[in-house]
């Protein structure tokens, strides 16, 4: 089989030297298009388009060599100054996790999102813990996820926000599951 792009799912999830996450961006901030990496084809594909007036408020990506309870690599919400591009690796500092659950009919699935800050960021450089984010920011984030899942006929419930220690435990579990 001819190789297309390098497979980002095979990259190391954490840089051992400095402990930074290696986040692979799928969907840039400000974009209506939802992109996802297709490991079978080894390319990023368009998964869906959000309705007019709705965009992804932050960059979204995944942590390689992990499998979350929803069967995909663990999701990462990435805070940085400017939108990135699909497929870009961004070294990032883990600050916490948004714990959430999506409900489709009678089926409940955990769908947590790690929160990380791009190491090169100026705008978010002072954000070190999830508690450094305002209550208003967290409310806007919750509203986004509720509306985003509602488009797919699912319900999303925010269970809470936890710190980097809880987030690192989730990474370890997701890495073992991969």
Q: Which domain holds residue 107?
A: 8-177
CB–CB of 74/63 below 8 Å?
A: yes
Return the closest-CA partner of residue 37 out of 18, 64, 13: 64
101 touches 110 (CB < 8 A): yes
| Residue 41 domain flag | yes
Q: How many structural domains comprise the chain?
A: 1
- Residue 3 domain-assigned (yes or no): no
Residue 116 neighbours by CB distance under 10 Å = 30
Q: What is the dihedral of CA 124, 126, 132, 134, to 10 degrees?
A: -50
Q: Determine, yes or no, domain membership for 1.
A: no
Q: Is residue 2 part of a domain?
A: no
The confidence score (pLDDT) of residue 39 equals 87
> Does pTM top 0.85 for this prediction?
yes
Residue 146 sits in a domain whose CATH number is: 3.90.80.10
Instruction: Annotate 114-133 with DSSP letters as a single string.
Output: EEEEETT-STTTT--SGGGS
Q: Which of 135, 136, 119, 117 lies closest to 127, judged by CA?
A: 117
pLDDT band at 65 (very low <50, low <70, confident <90, very high): very high
% pLDDT > 90, the chain: 78
């Amino acid at each position: 089989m001819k190789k297309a792009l390098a497979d980002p799912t095979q990259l190391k999830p954490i840089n051992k030297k400095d402990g930074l996450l290696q986040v692979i961006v799928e969907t840039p901030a400000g974009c209506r298009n939802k992109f996802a990496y297709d490991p079978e084809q080894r390319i990023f594909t368009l998964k869906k388009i959000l309705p007019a007036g709705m965009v992804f408020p932050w960059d979204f990506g995944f942590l390689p060599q992990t499998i979350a309870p929803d069967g995909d690599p663990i999701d990462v919400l990435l805070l940085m100054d400017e939108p990135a591009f699909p497929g870009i690796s961004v070294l990032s500092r883990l600050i916490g996790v948004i714990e959430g659950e999506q409900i489709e009919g009678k089926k409940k699935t955990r769908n947590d999102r790690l929160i990380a800050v791009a190491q090169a960021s100026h705008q978010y450089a002072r954000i070190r813990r999830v508690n450094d984010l305002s209550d208003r920011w967290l409310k806007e984030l919750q509203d986004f996820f509720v509306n985003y899942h509602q488009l797919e006929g699912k319900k999303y419930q925010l269970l809470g926000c936890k710190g980097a220690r809880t987030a690192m435990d989730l990474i370890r579990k997701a890495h073992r599951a991969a």
